[in-house]
Amino acid sequence: MKILNAGPGFSQPMTEDETISFLTSGRRNIYIASLDEKNEPNIHPVWFYFDSSNQKFYIETSKDSKKKKNLENNKIVYFCVDEPNIPYKGVRGKAKVDIISDIDSIVPICERNMKKYLGSLEHPMAKELVNLAKRGESVAIELSPFYFSTWDDSKIK
């Protein structure tokens, strides 16, 4: 894992273990920045899970979503996951995008996100989104970061 200091001279970077812990705990959104067909920026706050074994992010979205269409045309994104409360901390970076259309791969990603953000697959929204994934209405987006630029203001002395 390549970790850069996002706030040199001010914040301190997170260690690899701290970065993994930050990305695998809580219910923060990941914000991904893409370019649309006019080459204009779009920001997409979305649910995700981070797989620490391969250091990749996984997002599930509608196969007709704006973000999916944007990412088909440009396979590079910038991303950010941050803690909005003091002491601030976060992870941002640049990543390569792969769009996964295999239902057998998408459904477990969708289920994992539903459990993380809604607490269970029994939640009405979880049921609906998992059913959409099972019907082939979704894709999964895999982000493979080139680097992680981190900051942790709790380390400021």
pLDDT per position as a tens digit, 114-152: 999 999 999 999 999 999 999 999 999 999 999 999 999
Q: Give residue 157's pLDDT.
A: 67
Q: What's the mean pLDDT in 70-87?
A: 93
Place of tokens 């994992």: 112
Q: Which two tokens stand for residue 85?
A: 């409360």
Q: Evaluate if residue 25 carries a pLDDT over 70.
A: yes
Residue 9 DSSP symbol: T
Are the CB atoms for 119 and 139 separated by under 8 Å?
Answer: no
Is the pLDDT at 17 greater than 70? The verdict is yes
∠ CA 108-112-117, nearest 5°, is 150
Residue 27 domain boundaries: 3-155
Q: What is the pTM of this model?
A: 0.93
Contacts of 128 (CB under 8 A, 6+ apart): none
Average pLDDT over residues 21-29: 95
Residue 27: what pLDDT?
Answer: 94
What are 98-111's pLDDT values in tens digits? 999 999 999 999 99
Residue-level pLDDT at 156: 76
Query: What is the SS3 assignment for 19?
Result: helix
Residue 50: pLDDT over 80: yes
Number of domains making up the chain? 1
Q: Are 30 and 102 in contact (CB under 8 A)?
A: no
Residue 155, pLDDT > 90, answer no
Residue 7 scores a pLDDT above 80: no
CATH number of the domain enclosing 130: 2.30.110.10
